[in-house]
Amino acid sequence: MNLYAIRSIYLFELARTWRTLLQSIATPVISTSLYFVVFGSAIGASMTQVHGVSYGAFIVPGLMMLALLTESISNASFGIYMPKYSGTIYEVLSAPVSYLEILIGYVGAAATKSIILGLIILFTAQFFVDFEILHPFWMGAFLVLTAVTFSLFGFIIGVWADGWEKLQIVPALIVTPLTFLGGSFYSISMLPEFWQTVTLFNPVVYLISAFRWSFYGVSDVNVLVSVGMILGFLVLCIATVGWIFKTGYRLKS
Amino acid sequence: MQPVISIQQLSKTYASGHPALKTINLDIHKGEIFALLGPNGAGKTTLISIICGIVNPGGGKVLVDGHDIISDYRAARSKIGLVPQELFNEGFESVLATVKFTRGLFGKAPDSAYLEQLLRDLSLWDKRDARIFELSGGMKRRVMIAKALSHQPQILFLDEPTAGVDVELRRDMWNMVRGLRERGVTIILTTHYIEEAEEMADRIGVISRGEIILVEDKQALMHKLGKKQLTLQLQQPLASIPEQLNHYTLELVDDGHALVYTFDTQREHTGIAELLKDLAQRGIDFKDLQSSQSSLEEIFVSLVHGR
């Protein structure tokens, strides 16, 4: 295994985060803080508890997941799209590195960045609301699993995109709406029955539900079902990436 | 001697249906400077891209120092450095960071002393902390070379290395290439500048429409295909070439003020003495004469267009 190559890609990608610290870290933290202020403090003050948890605390896992999903996709898609756009992908393709090593480098860096961001948001949330983490191990496991899965998804988008517009279209038109409608700010049991059924087709519901369970022991959907859904999506992403590498889709002609 | 690169029956047709390479067979010798000449779209970059792993081959086989580029790609690629035609770069990265990145990518442990020497040799050390987008085109080209050499390759591909660079940098690069060759590095360069091939190459390959149409030692090529011309500046202009001189390959130029005789350097008798005698007998005097040898460029054009 070419460990130097993995290290190079990983550190090179992380270096971009430090170069663009304001964009990478400060912006999501500020926007999440605003969510806490608006939803947690302003609206939450007039709301009753949800599943026995105060509204402010209830939205913490959802907000973390919101940031985790969007940042994982954005980091990974940008990470692989940028060298394609600038042309520097030539040296990755011509280097003695396997596709797995390329993947570990890019996806590992993207997941690392979004996990760090998730933890910063968790830390920031302490200043706004009181909350607890009932199952810290599972919280960490879901955090890592989600970050890796959606970084893989982002990697696929980055390979697929052949323009800046396409790079934005999936996160903006699909992921963000699904996340907002996936129970970040509410329990799906608060919806009319018809919409509860519709919501179950939204994969993000399972992520948020499981993540919230790790905090407070309450969930909209059975945790095992959620774990199955996350693992299923992970396998789907791995299979797609495997196909991309096998065919050289949009990487090699 | 085992070739350092052996290309056997290599072909490539792009998804668009464009046959970029037909059946290519070519051996590159260890330690030589090989110039690959060809017009735009001839397949030069496709050929290089396949050897380096950037483009998938259609059919055939390529061995790099005995290693198959597909089944043993790690060993094959680790021996190759590539300076692509375009100035691809991560604009916001510093020079040193991007060179370190490439070295790591090729599986080499960090070596600050080597990279410092490399950047000094390429006059980049003072710019090591500068971001690449701040550099001039020539300096960016040097960065590309530094990246290609960062992992100490045994084989260096230079795809149009001096396109758009000034004379000074071109001379620097030629010196650098010669220095690398002295250290045993094999160099394959594609170029539009025939003078570059003429100045530097040991062997020349000509590619046209996806086929290698000629591979020859440069001197032998010049000797074999080089035509010499003798130009005679006449005392009195001629209206036409006298019929008695028709068996010479003559051309009247400069409104009849000059007579150009083209002869083959391969022939034992050039025919110059006879021509001068014939001219004297017919009272055609000349005030000056000069001879010139056709350049590689002319040879190249005649080869490509003669097909």
- Residue positions counted in chain B: 307
Per-residue pLDDT, averaged over B108-133, amounts to 93
Computed over every residue of chain A, the mean pLDDT equals 88
Per-residue pLDDT, averaged over B190-215, amounts to 86
Tell whether the model's pLDDT for residue A241 goes beyond 90. Answer: yes
CA–CA gap between residue B84 and residue B87 (Å, rounded): 7
Strand order in the sheet with B286-293: B250-253, B258-264, B227-234, B286-293
Tell me if A96 and B77 make a contact (CB, 8 A cut-off). yes
Q: Choose between A54 and B269: higher pLDDT.
A: A54
DSSP H or E run through A125: helix A99-125
Amino acid B194: pLDDT: 75
ipTM of the complex: 0.86
CA–CA gap between residue A65 and residue A178 (Å, rounded): 12
Which residue is closest to A97 within chain B, CA to CA? B74
- For residue B232, give the 3-state DSSP assignment: strand
B182: confidence class by pLDDT, cuts 50, 70, 90 = very high
Highest mean pLDDT among A8-22, A53-67, B13-27: B13-27
A5: confidence class by pLDDT, cuts 50, 70, 90 = very high
Q: How far is B201 from chain A (nearest CA, A)?
A: 25
B306: confidence class by pLDDT, cuts 50, 70, 90 = low
Q: Which of A33-47, A237-251, B179-193 has the lowest mean pLDDT?
A: A33-47
Query: What are the structural domains, with CATH classification, of chain B?
Result: 5-223 (3.40.50.300), 227-294 (3.30.70)
- For residue B179, give the 3-state DSSP assignment: helix
- Locate A249 and state its tokens: 């889709």
Contacts of B13 in chain A (CB under 8 A): none
Q: How far is B156 from chain A (nearest CA, A)?
A: 13
**Identity of residue A80:** I
Query: CB atoms < 10 A from the CB of A252, how many?
Result: 14
Per-residue pLDDT tens over the stretch B50-71 = 999 999 999 999 999 999 999 9
- Locate A224 and state its tokens: 């095992």
- Residue B82 phi/psi, 5° resolution? -130, 130
Contacts of A105 in chain B (CB under 8 A): none
Nearest to B54 among A4, A82, A93 (CB): A93
Percent of chain A with pLDDT over 90: 44
Per-residue pLDDT tens over the stretch A137-179 = 999 999 999 999 999 999 999 999 988 888 888 888 888 888 8
B149: confidence class by pLDDT, cuts 50, 70, 90 = very high
Computed over every residue of chain B, the mean pLDDT equals 88
Amino acid B65: pLDDT: 94
Per-residue pLDDT tens over the stretch B246-270 = 888 888 998 899 999 988 766 667 7
Amino acid A95: pLDDT: 95
DSSP character for B163? Answer: T
Nearest to A80 by CA among A5, A165, A147, A153: A153
Per-residue pLDDT, averaged over B97-102, amounts to 95
**Identity of residue B269:** H
Q: Choose between B12 and A42: higher pLDDT.
A: B12
Q: Choose between A247 and B4: higher pLDDT.
A: B4
CB proximity A109 to B under 8 Å = no
Per-residue burial over A63-91, b = 16 or more CB atoms within 10 Å of its CB, e = otherwise? bbbbbbbbbbbbbbbbbbbbbbbeebbbb
- Residue A233 phi/psi, 5° resolution? -65, -35
Domain residue extents for chain A:
3-247
Tell whether the model's pLDDT for residue A46 goes beyond 80. Answer: no
CA–CA gap between residue A232 and residue A240 (Å, rounded): 12
Percent of chain B with pLDDT over 90: 51
Nearest to B15 among A86, A91, A253 (CB): A253
Question: Which of A84, A94, A97 should be substituted to probe chain B, the one whose Cβ sees the most B Cβ atoms within 10 Å?
Answer: A94
- For residue A46, give the 3-state DSSP assignment: helix
Q: What is the pTM of this model?
A: 0.84
Amino acid B191: pLDDT: 80
Strand ranges, E, within chain B = 5-13, 19-28, 33-37, 59-64, 67-68, 80-83, 155-159, 186-191, 203-208, 211-217, 227-234, 250-253, 258-264, 286-293
**Identity of residue B253:** V
Amino acid A38: pLDDT: 82
Q: Choose between A44 and B278: higher pLDDT.
A: B278
Tell whether the model's pLDDT for residue A109 goes beyond 90. Answer: yes
- Locate B204 and state its tokens: 């020349």
CA–CA gap between residue A230 and residue A223 (Å, rounded): 11
- CB contact set of A162 (below 8 Å; sequence gap of 6+): A250
Tell whether the model's pLDDT for residue B275 goes beyond 80. Answer: yes
Radius of gyration of chain A (CA): 19
